[in-house]
Each structure stands twice: as C-alpha cells, then as structure tokens.
Amino acid sequence: MTRGRAYLIAGLVALLVIAAAALVFATGSPAAKPAAQQKTLVVLGAENEYANVLAQVGGRYVRAIGIMSNPSTDPHTYEASTTNAREVAQASLVVQNGLGYDSFMQKLEANAPSTRRIILTVASIVGAPPSTENPHLWYRPSTMPAVAQSVAKALSQLEPQHKSYFARRAAAFDRSLGPWRQALAKLRQDFHGAKVVVTEPVADYLLQAAGLDVATPWSFQAAVMNGQDPSPQDVSTVDSLISTRQAKVLVYNLQAVEPTTESLLAIAKAHQVPVVGVNETMPAGFDYQHWMLAETQALTAAIGQHKSEVHLK
C-alpha cells in the first residue's frame, strides 16, 4: 500500500513536470540574438512601434530592438524577462511610453544603471500630464513626429558626426505620414460625428482625431483596459448601442480579449454592425505609418461600406 502510494506521488510529479515542459516548448523560445556590432548603437523601444521609429530615424547607425513586440499579448499585464534586462543594459537610447503603460521599463533601467544611456519618455515629449487617463499616445497623429524629432536630437548627441543624416531621416519620416494624415482628414470630412463603440481605449486618440464620437462609457473602457469586469449597467449600455445600430462600427482591441468583449463581437455580428480590429502593438509586416494608414482605411471602409476587418491585411 505504501509502495503504491509512493508510485502515485512519483507519477503525479512526473506528470506535472512533463505538462510544464511541454507548455514551455510549445510556446517556443525566441531565436538567439546576434551579438551587438561595434559600429552600431543599440537602441530600444519599450513597444515595437517606438522601435520602428527608432530604426527609421537611426537608419544604418542603429540596431533597434522592441521589447513589447508580440501583438497577441496585452502590454498592460506584461512582465519583463531576463532577455529584456540584458537588452536594456546594452542600450544607449531608450524610448518608452510612460503613464504607467510600461512601468516594467523603470525597473529594468534601475537594475542596469548607466550614465551614457539616454531615456526618452513619450509622455513628457508630448506634454501629457501623469493624470492622463488614456496611455495609448502613439495613436495621436501629432505624437510620432515629435518622437522622431527627439530621437534625432538624442542620436546626434550620441554620434554628433551623423547629425545631418539623422535630421534628414526624421524629416523623411514626417513626410511619409502624409497619406495617413490625408486618410484621417477624409474620414473626418465624410463621417464627422458618427458614433462608434470601442472595447478599450487603445485607438481613441485616432478616432477623436477623425472626428468620430466614441460612445462607450469611459468606465467600461477603463475596466477592460485594467483587466477588471465592467459593471452590468455599462455592459447593458454598450450592448444596446450596438443592437440598436446607433454605433456605426465596433472597434475591437485584439490585445485585450475577455468574455465581455467577445460577447460584444457576437452582438455586432448578429446585428450586422461592422467590426474593425485594432492592435496595441504594431503587427508584423507593417511599419508605423502603414499600420496607422491601414487601420484608418479599415475604419473608413467599415463606416462607409459596412465592411468588417478584424485582422489587418
């Protein structure tokens, strides 16, 4: 009997270890990073949309790394890993969002003190006070041009001999945002004041810039953003906005999925309200300007032609 029991314990332990190992391997480990080259600066974006701007401005003189780069996870609940700690220690320039969105960066930076490293916080670049409720600053059309300017300045400080190169590339980046600005202006002109329902505040700045009316109560958006359950009253309000088709489109955050948001998706489908999926983190195959352009075009198609686009093409 005691021996039987010992086998049982051993079996149980083995089972759990195997299950754990299988999970770790199944989810995959990232490929090994090449060693930093001598000539290039390692620059770090806490989110990969900032890393993308760093790469576009820094060009051939930088190697840009994004910490939050998996578009299927939720940055709000992200926990830093040891790889991230090593990358922060190597970096000469860091761009982070601030407003508590990427508070893990402060811990990583405190753990690897350096006098050489320049840290740019986007919230201070754009002058967003700490009380700002919606941290998704990169959705504001004026944010990235300002970030690009600050990045060019910081890189010139690190490598003064390439100052004009960085300034040229920052200006080129600014120009490349033209098509997005035009698409936003067109959306504003055609559908100003149209009601939209969102699951989460991620794209609110873009929607407001396009003159659309975000009808979801803020308490609902904040609850989903913070991983809490929205109150039943708010859920009813949002449900009826969709089921009475007052909302012209449901803007769905693909990176904050919950039973509540999934049920909104079902209601939208049942009442033929188009759905547009948006990301917190830049999806693969896009750069910043084309990502924003694609989401704006998807919104225009949804409101104008009732087309859903849950995943960007």
Chain residues binding another protein by CB under 8 A are: 5, 8-9, 12-13, 16, 19-20, 23-24, 27, 70, 72-74, 76-79, 217, 219, 222-225, 227-236, 254-260, 263
Of 261 and 300, the one with the shorter C-beta distance to another protein is 261
Query: Who's near 19: CB < 8 A, 6+ residues apart?
Result: none
Distance of closest approach, residue 163 Cβ to another protein, in angstroms: 40
Q: How many other β-carbons are positioned within 10 Å of the β-carbon of residue 193?
A: 8
Of 118 and 251, the one with the shorter C-beta distance to another protein is 251
Distance of closest approach, residue 209 Cβ to another protein, in angstroms: 25
Distance of closest approach, residue 266 Cβ to another protein, in angstroms: 10
Of 12 and 270, the one with the shorter C-beta distance to another protein is 12
Tokens representing 297 are: 């075009």
Of 20 and 185, the one with the shorter C-beta distance to another protein is 20
Distance of closest approach, residue 296 Cβ to another protein, in angstroms: 22
Q: How many other β-carbons are positioned within 10 Å of the β-carbon of residue 86?
A: 13
Query: Who's near 67: CB < 8 A, 6+ residues apart?
Result: 44, 45, 46, 47, 48, 51, 80, 84, 87, 102, 105
Distance of closest approach, residue 231 Cβ to another protein, in angstroms: 3
Tokens representing 10 are: 């051993």
Of 122 and 256, the one with the shorter C-beta distance to another protein is 256
Containing H/E element for 44?
strand 41-47
